[in-house]
Amino acid sequence: MRKLRIGYWPLSASLRSAGDRRRLVFWAEARGHTIVTNLSQKVDVIVASENSDFNSNLFSQKKIPVIFDLVDAYLSPLNPTNDFVRGLTKKLSGQISGHVKPFSQHVRDFCLSSKAVLCSSIEQEEMIKPYNLNTHVILDSHDEIPFVDKSFEDLSLDNKNQILWEGQPATIRGVRLISLPLTRLSRSHDVHLNFVTDEKYFQFLNRYIQRTTLDVLKRDLCQINSFVNVIPWTQENLVATAQRCKIAMIPIDLSVPMQRLKPENRLLIMWRLGLPCLVSPSPAYTRVASKAGVNAVCENPDAWLENFRELLNNPSFAHDEILRGQNYLRENHTKSILLSKWDEAFESAMD
């Protein structure tokens, strides 16, 4: 493919948000393409994100194909009221022009008009394909995270049993669903919970109702809130915290469609960091755990407690879980695989 000038409506002005740097920016830099955020300039193709004004005339330029990078499951809103309020708020804030309608309808219509749609999981692809058959599943690149070889001895150290949670605060309240097993675990083990995330966040649309992450966690984990530590997200902090931890956890609220349909990126990152990871039974986590052959999925609170204890008490089992996860990464999630998928998606839109 020739070198492209790619017009991009990004998630962040700096292009440093995870959804920018681990996706389009990763591919463009690896292949030598140029990203242009001023869409009025001459470009060969335009990539839209979920933060785009889908009704902008910039997406209607003749002979310039549009690719929609739809990372999250906005086609499956929480409920009709939430969906309409999101669309209305984006209209009132000036993010979206045109008529007021539920946000999922904006997303659906833009899928229909795009030359190609990118998403993050097989489950999301099934929802998008009725509106665009040229849909491509591409996970995030995790090359910025080191591939850690954690030894059996590291897992056998008789120190504090530290557990890692990592991610954006949007899904952090899933931890309240396992507060009871964590409380019971703390009675038999010296447990400390490390949350590598933003110290403050906005509850709605990344701009409304600011919350302090530690306060939210202390309320959700009231009986063990003295064992909770919030660490600002940086790559260095994540790696350093993972080195001190024995287990990672990703509990999510499966009643929220946006969370239930999240892809497996966070699980793959935990394996990359050399940690066994316990997860809620979302479609993506269940699918990947089965393929990797790991005992990661916790169907109920008792399973969470049992699996936490097994990983803490049995370093040999924990080490085997890590090796299985990392073998899965080597076979299914490499830089070359991701780059090829991006190549294929752009070729399909530029054809």
Q: What is the DSSP string of 210-230?
A: EEEHHHHHHHHTGGGGGGEEE
Per-residue pLDDT band for 320 (boundaries 50, 70, 90) equals very high
Q: How far is it, in rounded angstroms, from Cα 330 to Cα 115?
A: 32
Q: Of the CATH numbers 3.30.420, 1.10.3470, 3.40.50, 1.10.10, which one belongs to the domain with range 5-141+334-350? A: 3.40.50
Q: Other C-beta atoms within 10 Å of 206: how many?
A: 12
- CA-to-CA distance for 93 and 204, rounded, in angstroms? 13
Q: What is the rounded distance in angstroms from the CA atom of residue 322 to the CA atom of residue 324?
A: 5
Fold: same for 5-141+334-350 and 152-332: yes
Beta-strand pair 208-212/200-204:
antiparallel
322: Cα separation from own chain's centroid: 20
The answer to whether the beta carbons of residues 100 and 229 sit under 8 Å apart is no
Whether pLDDT at 151 is above 80 = no
DSSP H helices in 93-200: 103-113, 122-128, 152-156, 179-188
User: pLDDT tens across 95-119, in order?
Assistant: 999 999 999 999 999 999 999 999 9
The token pair at 230 is: 């919030």
Residue whose tokens read 């659906």? 108
Digit-coded pLDDT (tens) for 240-282 = 999 999 999 999 999 999 999 999 999 999 999 999 999 999 9
Domain definitions of the chain by residue range: 5-141+334-350, 152-332
Give the gyration radius of the chain's Cα atoms.
21
Give residue 170's pLDDT.
Answer: 86
CA 99, chain centre distance (Å): 30
CA 338 – CA 118 distance, rounded (Å) = 12
Residue 64 CA to chain centroid, in angstroms?
29
Using pLDDT thresholds of 50, 70 and 90, give the confidence band for residue 122: very high
In this structure, CATH architecture of domain 152-332: 3-Layer(aba) Sandwich (3.40)
